[in-house]
Chain A
Amino acid sequence: MNQLTRGLLGFSAMAACLIAVGVMQSWTLSFTIINMCLISAVMALGVNIQWGYAGLFNAGIVGFTALGGLAAMLVSTPPVKGAWQAGGVSLFFSLLALIAVVIAVNALRRYIPAGRLRSVGTVVLIVGGFFFIRYFYAPAVDAIESFDPARTGFLGGLGAPILFSWLVGGLFAAGAAWLIGKISLGLRSDYLAIATLGIAEIIVAMLKNEDWLSRGVKNVSGLPRPVPYEIELQQTPWFVERVTNFYAAELPVDATARAAELQQKLIEASSLFVKLCYTGLFLSVLLLVLWLAYRAQRAPWGRMMRAIRDNEDAANAMGKDVTRRHLQVFVMGSAVVGIAGAMMTTLEGQLTPGTYNPLRYTFLIWVMVIIGGSGNNIGSVLGAFIVWFGWVQAEPLGQWVIDHGTAWMGDGHTLREHMLENASHMRLIIMGTVLLMVMRFSPNGLIPETNRQ
């Protein structure tokens, strides 16, 4: 079976599943799943750029996702003027202090020759600089966080259109990736994995605790949307007209019954319409990234990346700067993950730092990439669809299996109750098993990489 048939088969099966959900459960649910599938697909593409093109293991996807989410919030929420007045100036000074310390450390390390003096000087500068920054930073944070803490207590954002934040999210993630790649690339291959695991945990901890920036676990909700609101749609004449015409045959003749029925249909249709708008947006991003990745892969650059991945020493001998290329591809992949993170926060309409869980993001995305076929972009997209669909539907399925499998124990049996209660954790076991099975028995994944010379 060649790539094309495999791809067509996989995507048709996926479409059939989603249509089945639409018919049997509801179309709104079907499109909710599709939207998350699309976002996961963009993330999986980002990871595939790192893993498939260069063999880099990024264990910090959750951190880059969270940075994207932070960008969405920072770009779209209106600024909190009072908080800026309360602590803006001293926060600005602490930023200046930070820059001064960084410049001082750099100058010291440039102009003083390596030796004890330089090491001690660096440590002294960093420790002293820490207190210097804190001198401005701590009062600024206190002032900002105590400004109307029940409703704001943070600086807010720019109040710009939220779509703009998708780019910013990519930039944020790229910046973090550059920093972490600079430190850990070029060393042992799994240092990058460990370092990314660490940075992700720190980013999530920052989002949870730096209330002045992200409101922490108090969440920022009600982010402005790039698409219309349901309530507005239900009162827009053209939308009402369309829905009335669409359901003209089904609506009852009696006036009151008709109005009630129409209202019901309007609510359903508006929610579906909003979901469709998101689907359109996400699909365009996915196609754009896919196209770019495809072009890059076929370009000389892509051949060089594959050469480096398959034999680092040979590529090095041919004069390729392996570490630099790795850094480049790592930054690009992380930027794509950041964009997806911003998209996800846009879809949810709120920033909830408490929900960034490495098992749910980092490692699930990995399952998607490996299952889809490492190195193959279409494969990653298919993997994202299958795994997300499975992740969502595995919970009711697991519940059902356990419910029926333990029915013979009779209701009220302790073991049965316990298993039913913890059924949702079954999906971790299922996902892990699937990952291990695919790696072992079909290491190329569902759609293997095309071996183009």
Chain B
Amino acid sequence: MSTDTINALVLFANFILVPGITYGSQLALGALGITLVYAVLRFSNFAHGDTMAFGCMFTILATWWLQSMGVSLGPLPTALLALPVGIAMTAALVLIFDKLVYKHYREQKSAPVVFVIASVGVMFVTNGLVRFIIGPNDQQFSDGMRFLVRARDFKKATGLDEGLTIKLTQGLSVVIAIVAMLMLFYFLQRTRTGKAMRAYSDNEDLALLSGIDPKRVVMITWLIVAALTTLAGVLYGLDKSFKPFTYFQLLLPMFAAAIVGGVGKPLGAILGGFIVAFSEILLTYAYKKLIGYVAGERPEGLVQLLSTDYKFAVSFMILVVVLLWRPTGILRGKTI
């Protein structure tokens, strides 16, 4: 392989592969939450993005408190230590909303669209709470070591023109997401409660007949969703930054991920998360340098398919393609 090819590969890894995998794992965690709510509670949760922001906010507050006490995790971000606080607060929030809002409509057997509108109300309240408590502005809360691999060190070690940067938060996102997903799948496939959850999702009446307690299933679903969303929110916030409106906007890519993979299918949500993340990055990346390495000379212009301002349009396009071509998603999810 010539140096140019290797340079091209490094460039590809640095700007597409690493960010794609990171963003993909964050989206997958978020989409898993949406899909679980859909599978068990049977509605599209519009409050999901703001729940993510809520969990992240309490993690940030706890992080600040820990930092003020002088506690730190050394090279790892202190936020990891504060995660349980965020998860606990989010769990409390979603359980309260379930008791006050969704439970009533479940008992009434309301149409899915009524749940959706109720979730819009919940979104409003959660969004207001987040803005009221922490404000609408950007917050940085990442501390500890910044990089796993530095571009400068990489260049020195390999002698290449292109550097590879891997931030600690990127590595953490992937590792934590994998661990969380493995735990989730172990829980769903192997434990009694997990099986009950899947049975309830497949056929509610049959599940009730076989003695599954629906209240318990719903509660456990919300607890898992709280943990997953908080994780997704904190990892995204550590990697980029925390801003309430950005989290609201993440709703669209997360929905797209859940639908592309097949709504109600956890594996589909993960697949969808990576599809959406990579499409977003592949379509908004400027290929000028990469083509330069591959073809020998750099083309004029940036060779960018879409400006980054339109990255949300990518999720939408994927959504449209899937709706037209296979409305149930790649893994054949549910339809109502």
Contacts and interface: CB of A to CB of B under 8 A. Distances in A.
Interface of A: 55, 57, 59, 130, 138, 183-184, 187-191, 193-195, 197-199, 201-202, 205, 208-209, 358-359, 363, 366-367, 370, 419, 421-422, 425-433, 435-436, 439-440
Given A187-B335, A189-B112, A435-B121, A425 B327 contact: no
A439 B305 contact: no
Nearest to A423: B132
B252 A428 contact: no
Given A183-B320, A198-B319, A208-B309, A425 B128 contact: yes
A193 B44 contact: yes
Contact of B124 (A138, A188, A432): A432
Contacts of B127: 359, 428, 432
B249 interface: yes
Contacts of B121: 432-433, 435-436, 439
A126 to B, nearest CB: 10
B132 A422 contact: yes
Among B46, B121, B248, residue most surrounded by chain A Cβ atoms (within 10 Å):
B121
B316 A428 contact: no
A428 B327 contact: no
Contacts of B118: 436, 439
A211 to B, nearest CB: 11
A429 B323 contact: no
Contact of B316 (A190, A201, A359, A421): A201
Contacts of B125: 428-429, 432-433, 436
A426 B116 contact: no
Interface in B19-56: 43-44, 46
A428 B117 contact: no
A198 B312 contact: yes
A194 B128 contact: no
Closest 3 CB pairs of A and B: A432-B124, A428-B128, A429-B128
A424 B224 CA distance: 33
B255 interface: yes
A41 B129 CA distance: 28
A183 B323 contact: yes
A432 B123 contact: yes
Contacts of B43: 190
A164 B136 CA distance: 39
Contacts of B259: 191, 194
Contacts of B263: 188
Interface residues of B, number: 52
A351 B251 CA distance: 27
Given A189-B336, A191-B323, A202-B312, A425 B136 contact: yes
Contacts of B249: 201
Given A194-B319, A363-B123, A425 B116 contact: no
Interface string B42-78: 0110100000000000000000000000000000000
Nearest to B307: A209
A199 B323 contact: no
Among A202, A209, A421, A427, residue most surrounded by chain B Cβ atoms (within 10 Å):
A202
24 contacts: A55-B113, A57-B117, A183-B320, A187-B327, A193-B44, A193-B46, A193-B113, A194-B252, A194-B255, A195-B320, A201-B313, A205-B312, A363-B124, A367-B124, A370-B117, A422-B133, A425-B132, A429-B128, A431-B128, A432-B122, A433-B125, A435-B120, A436-B118, A439-B114
A140 B313 CA distance: 22
B155 interface: no
Nearest to B325: A119
B124 A359 contact: yes
B324 A428 contact: no
Where chain B touches its partner, the secondary structure class is helix
A187 B323 contact: yes
A193 B46 CA distance: 10
A435 B124 contact: yes
A440 B123 contact: no
A57 B305 CA distance: 33
Contacts of A426: 128, 132
Nearest to B47: A432
Contact of B313 (A202, A358, A439): A202
Given A194-B44, A436-B118, A440-B101, A202 B124 contact: no
B310 interface: yes
B113 A57 contact: yes
A197 B256 CA distance: 11
B195 interface: no
A199 B316 contact: yes
A9 to B, nearest CB: 25
B128 A432 contact: yes
B120 A363 contact: yes
B207 to A, nearest CB: 22
Contacts of B327: 187-188, 191
B299 interface: no
B294 to A, nearest CB: 18
A428 B135 CA distance: 13
A190 B324 CA distance: 15
B113 A190 contact: yes
A425 B112 CA distance: 29
Contact of B116 (A184, A193, A205): A193
B131 interface: yes
Interface string B251-271: 110011001000100000000
Nearest to B125: A432
Contacts of A194: 44, 252, 255, 259, 319
A427 B128 contact: yes
A420 B5 CA distance: 58
Contact of A198 (B131, B132, B315, B324): B315
B92 interface: no
Contact of A130 (B100, B305, B323): B305
A365 B111 CA distance: 21
B106 interface: no
Contacts of B132: 419, 422, 425-426, 428-429
A201 B44 contact: no
Contacts of A190: 43-44, 112-113, 116
A417 B256 CA distance: 40
A198 B124 contact: no
A443 to B, nearest CB: 9
